[in-house]
Chain A
C-alpha cells in the first residue's frame, strides 16, 4: 500500500479546461512536495509546502496543503498541452528522518490541443 494515495491515476482533458489532482494520506507530513516528470526524464520539483493550510501559486498552478498536513491538492487553471506529464506528490513524514521522501504513484495528465 502507498503511504501517499494520488487520484485520479489518469486524467485527460481538453486545452483550456481546469483540473485538480489529489494527494491523500492517513499520516502527517512535515512537508510535502509536488514534482512533474516527463517521459524519459527525472522528476522536477514544482513546489514545497510546509505549513498546514498553506496555499502556493505558480502561474496557473495552485497548490494547497491540508490543515492537518495529511493531504494536498494541485489545481491547474486553463490547462495547456505543455502541462502534460506525470505529477508526483512526495512528503517527509513527521515521524521520519527528514531526508526520506515517500512518493505517491503519480497522476498522468494529458492535455489535448
Chain B
C-alpha cells in the first residue's frame, strides 16, 4: 500500500541549522501540498506544487522556507536557519488532480521537527 511517504518522521535541529523534509506522493499523484500543524492548532496550508512548478506558496513564510517538486524524486520542504518557532509537525498531502470535491487529499504521517 504505497501511501504518501514522508521522511524523516522525526528531526531534531539546533537553531541556525537547516532542515530538509521529504515527501513522495502516492503513485499516480502529481499534486503535492505541504501543511504545518502547531500544537492545538489546525493544519495551515503552506504550499502547493505540481511537478517542477510551484502553483501557490502563499502560506509559506517568505524567508528561510522553500519547496520544490522536481521532475524526478520526492518533494522537498527546506527550512534554512531554523528557529524554535519552526518546531511543528509538517504534513505532506497528495492528490491525483486539483480540487477536493471529489479528489480528496491523502496525507502522509508527517515529519516532526524539533528545534533546540
Residues of A within 8 A of B (CB): 2, 4, 9, 30-31, 33, 35, 40-45, 48, 50, 88, 90, 92, 97-106
Contact = CB atoms under 8 A, between A and B. Distances in A.
A43 B101 contact: no
Interface residues of B, number: 29
Given A2-B42, A88-B43, A99-B48, A45 B105 contact: yes
Given A98-B99, A98-B101, A101-B100, A41 B109 contact: yes
24 contacts: A31-B100, A35-B107, A42-B91, A42-B93, A42-B109, A43-B43, A43-B91, A45-B105, A48-B100, A50-B101, A88-B43, A92-B99, A92-B101, A99-B31, A99-B48, A99-B55, A99-B56, A99-B99, A100-B45, A101-B35, A101-B45, A102-B45, A103-B43, A105-B42
A103 B33 contact: no
B106 interface: yes
Interface of B: 4, 6, 31, 33, 35, 40-45, 48, 55-56, 91, 93, 95, 98-102, 104-110
Nearest to A3: B42
